[in-house]
Amino acid sequence: MEPLFHYSPYIGWVYPNETVFEWSILIAIYPYLTGLVAGAFTVSSLYQVFGFQRLKPVAHLALLTSLCMMLFVPLPLLLHLGHPERAFNNLLTPHLTSAMAVFGYFASFYILLLVLESWFAFRPYIVEQAQKTSGVLRSFYRVLTLGSYDVSEKALAYDRKWIFWLAVTGIPGAHGLHGYVGFVFGSLKSREWWSSDLMPVVFLFSAIISGVSLLVVLYVLSCKLRKTPIDVDCVKGMAYTVWAFIMVTLALEGLMFANIVYKGREGVDMIIQHVTGALLVPYWVLQFGIGAITPLLLLTYMIWRGTKGKALVVGVTVSACLVLLSVFVMRWNVVIGGQELSKTGKGLLYYHLTLFGQEGLLNAILVMAIPFVVLLGAVRLFPPWDDHANASDRVSP
Q: State the pLDDT confidence band at 11, using cuts at 50, 70 and 90.
A: very low
Q: State the pLDDT confidence band at 17, using cuts at 50, 70 and 90.
A: low
pLDDT over threshold 70, residue 20: no
| 3-class secondary-structure state, position 395 | strand
Mean pLDDT of 86-99: 77
Q: Which of 2, 33, 35 is nearest to 16 (CA)?
A: 2
Mean pLDDT of 114-126: 94
Q: What gap in Å lies between CA 4 and CA 10, rounded to an integer?
A: 18
Q: What is the pLDDT of residues 39-82, one digit of tens each?
A: 999 999 999 998 888 999 999 999 999 999 999 998 898 888 87
Average pLDDT, the chain: 84
Chain centroid to Cα 277, Å, comes to 28
Contact criterion met (CB below 8 Å) for 204 and 311? no
pLDDT over threshold 50, residue 397: yes
266 compared with 150, residue with greater pLDDT: 150
At 19, the amino acid letter reads T
**Angle formed by the axes of helices 99-132 and 135-144, to 10°?**
130
Strand partners, 314: none
Most confident of 14-28, 173-187, 298-312: 298-312
**What integer pLDDT is reported at residue 266 of this predicted model?**
60
pLDDT over threshold 80, residue 100: no
Lowest mean pLDDT among 210-214, 259-263, 331-335, 355-359: 259-263
pLDDT over threshold 50, residue 202: yes
**What integer pLDDT is reported at residue 388 of this predicted model?**
40
Angle at alpha carbon of residue 32, lines to 31 and 37, rounded to 5°: 90
**What integer pLDDT is reported at residue 247 of this predicted model?**
92
Q: State the pLDDT confidence band at 138, using cuts at 50, 70 and 90.
A: very high
Contact criterion met (CB below 8 Å) for 350 and 340? yes
Q: What gap in Å lies between CA 380 and CA 366, rounded to an integer?
A: 21
**What integer pLDDT is reported at residue 389 of this predicted model?**
38
pTM for the predicted model, two decimal places = 0.88
**What integer pLDDT is reported at residue 365 of this predicted model?**
93
107-114 long-range contacts, CB within 8 A, separation 24+: 107/70, 107/73, 107/74, 107/177, 109/173, 110/70, 110/170, 110/173, 110/174, 110/177, 111/67, 111/70, 111/71, 113/166, 113/169, 113/170, 113/173, 114/41, 114/63, 114/66, 114/67, 114/70, 114/170
Lowest mean pLDDT among 6-10, 151-155, 182-186, 317-321: 6-10
pLDDT over threshold 80, residue 195: no
243 compared with 276, residue with greater pLDDT: 243
**Angle formed by the axes of helices 199-226 and 25-48, to 10°?**
70
Contact criterion met (CB below 8 Å) for 271 and 92? no
Q: What gap in Å lies between CA 66 and CA 384, rounded to an integer?
A: 13
Q: What is the pLDDT of residues 232-250, one digit of tens each?
A: 999 999 999 999 999 999 9
Mean pLDDT of 225-230: 91
Q: What is the pLDDT of residues 331-365, one digit of tens each?
A: 998 888 887 776 666 667 777 788 888 888 999 99
pLDDT over threshold 50, residue 200: yes
Phi, psi for 341 (deg, rounded to 5): -85, 120
Q: What is the pLDDT of residues 356-387, one digit of tens each?
A: 888 889 999 999 999 999 999 999 999 998 65
Domain coordinates in residue numbering, the chain: 6-382
Which CATH number is 6-382 given? 1.20.1630.10
Q: Which of 317, 352, 220, 331 is nearest to 282 (CA)?
A: 331
The neighbour count for residue 276, using CB atoms within 10 Å, is 11
Mean pLDDT of 7-34: 70
Contact criterion met (CB below 8 Å) for 186 and 196? yes
199 compared with 142, residue with greater pLDDT: 142
102 compared with 370, residue with greater pLDDT: 370
111 compared with 7, residue with greater pLDDT: 111
The neighbour count for residue 145, using CB atoms within 10 Å, is 16
